Structures are given as structure tokens and as C-alpha cells.
Amino acid sequence: MGLIPKIPVAEWVSSATEWITDTFEFLFDFIKQDFGDFIELFAEQWLMSIPIWLFIVVVAVLAFFVSGKKFGLLAFSVIGLWFIANQGLWEELMNTFTLVIFSSLISVIIGVPLGIWMAKNSTVQSIFTPVLDFMQTMPAFVYLIPAVAFFSIGMVPGVFASVIFATPPTVRFTNLGIRQVSHELIEASDSFGTTGIQKLFKVQLPMAKKTIMAGINQTVMLALSMVVIASMIGAKGLGQMVITGLQRAEVGTGFVAGLGIVILAIIIDRFTQNLNTQRGD
């Protein structure tokens, strides 16, 4: 070992992080303040201003129609949300819901165009595939380090870490879905003189929609899985209650908060799956 000099990877990464933090400090401050204020406004004023009973009714109605007018998802949504409210965790649920919404939305906005680009260009695919592998295999806790370095603590670094962790499935499934569109359809569209944009929006994306929606479903679930981890850097929500229960050895508190996360995960998963089934048929 003494014959091989140690490669200073840690020092390089630390130096790069410091350079990025100093160079783009104005951008990080803007995102941390303005975007952070908007997230808190969305969670604490807009969502919390909705009466609990009205929120549950709206979710129940949506569940009824999304599930094909079946009552299973409706009943579970109503009972699950009522249980969370009954346990006094409604505010934490709204904060968690906000984190998942913004993380998933940003991931989809980034992931779908990137997946389209990869499907259109094999060179881009060969470049980004190892990057996506790296993003998916890196332990989620590692993403907290640059998140805190860039944005301090709070909801914004939680969203940042969740976006990095949750974006790859949307990228991969979008790329896969477009590449799986049959060549006969592509040739037929070309024979009608369609432009590249027309072919993308009228042929490829509609045919790949079911696959893309499956990727979005995975992205949403990964964003939700980051809730507890993001709470370690100040993200509010049910994950914070889990951490509190762990720190204080309060098994009941941690269990109830964890159960709330499970309920939210099942509701979101069933919503996206049923939506995908309906639109894919």
C-alpha cells in the first residue's frame, strides 16, 4: 500500500463543493429563501387552510373516479386520512405531502425531457446511463451532504436530496418507453411527412405513456421514501416524528408516524397505478 500514493478524492470533492457553494451562492440563497418561503406558504397556509373533512372528501371523490368507480381505494383513503387526523398528525402529513409533491414534480420536469433526449440520441444515453446508475446506487444519506452545503437545513435541501434520488426512474422509463415504440408506427408517421415534434407528441409519447407513468409512479414512491432521511436535515413532516421517536426511544410515537407514512404511500401508489391503468388502456 505504501508504494501507491493515496488519490485525494475526498479533498477534490470538498474543494469542488466549496467552489460551487461560493460561486453560486447567490443562486442557492435565492432558491433557499424564495423557493423555501413558497414551500412553507404552500404547506402551512394553503393546504392547512383546507378543512380536514373537505380534504378527505376531495381525495375520496378522486379515488372513486380514478379507481374506476370502485370503493376499495375510496374506503382506504377515507379511513387512512381520518386515522392520521385522529392521531393529531395532520400538519405533519401536509408537510410530508408538500415535500413529495414538489420533489416529484421537479423530478418529472427534469426526467421526462432527459429521457426523451436519451431516446433520441444513443450517445447521450451512453453518457447518462452510468450517471443514473451512480445516482441510484449511491446511499441516500450521502445526498444530504451537498444538500446541506448548498442550502443549509430545512425543506429546500430535503427537496434537493429527494430530486437527485427520485429522478432516475422517470428518465429510464421515458427512454425505454419511447425506444419500444414499434418501427412500423414510426415509418408510417414518416410516410405522412410528420415533423420530429409531431412524431414525438402524436405517436411516441402517447404510445409510451403507460411506461412513462410507471416510471413516474416509481419516482413518487422514491420521493416519499426520502421523507424520513430528509427530516434529518430539517425537513418537516411525518419523518421528523419518526426521528423524534427514535431519539427519545418513544416507540409509540415513531410507530404511529411510520404508519402515517405507510398510509400515504399506499394511497399515492394506488392513485398513480389506477391512473396509469386507465390511461394506458
pLDDT (tens place) for every residue of the chain, 281 residues total? 556 777 787 888 888 888 888 887 778 777 777 777 777 777 777 888 888 889 899 988 888 888 777 777 888 889 999 999 998 888 888 888 888 888 899 999 999 999 999 988 889 999 989 988 888 888 877 888 888 888 777 788 888 888 888 899 999 999 999 988 888 887 787 777 777 787 888 888 888 888 999 899 899 888 888 877 888 887 788 888 888 887 787 788 888 888 988 898 888 888 888 877 654 44
Please report the domains of the chain, with CATH numbers, ordered by start residue: 9-49+87-280 (1.10.3720.10)
Helix (H), strand (E) at residue 244:
helix 238-247
The total of other beta-carbon atoms located within 10 Å of residue 125's CB is: 17
180 and 257 in contact (C-beta within 8 Å)?
no
DSSP letters spanning 19-68: HHHHHTHHHHHHIIIIIHHHHHHIIIIIIHHS-HHHHHHHHHHHHHHHTT
170 and 249 in contact (C-beta within 8 Å)?
no
Total-model pTM: 0.85
Cell representation of residue 181? 415504440
227 and 99 in contact (C-beta within 8 Å)?
yes
pLDDT at residue 82, rounded to an integer: 92
DSSP 8-class letter at 142 = G
pLDDT at residue 3, rounded to an integer: 61
Tell me how far apart the alpha carbons of residues 75 and 277 are, in angstroms, rounded to a whole number. 20
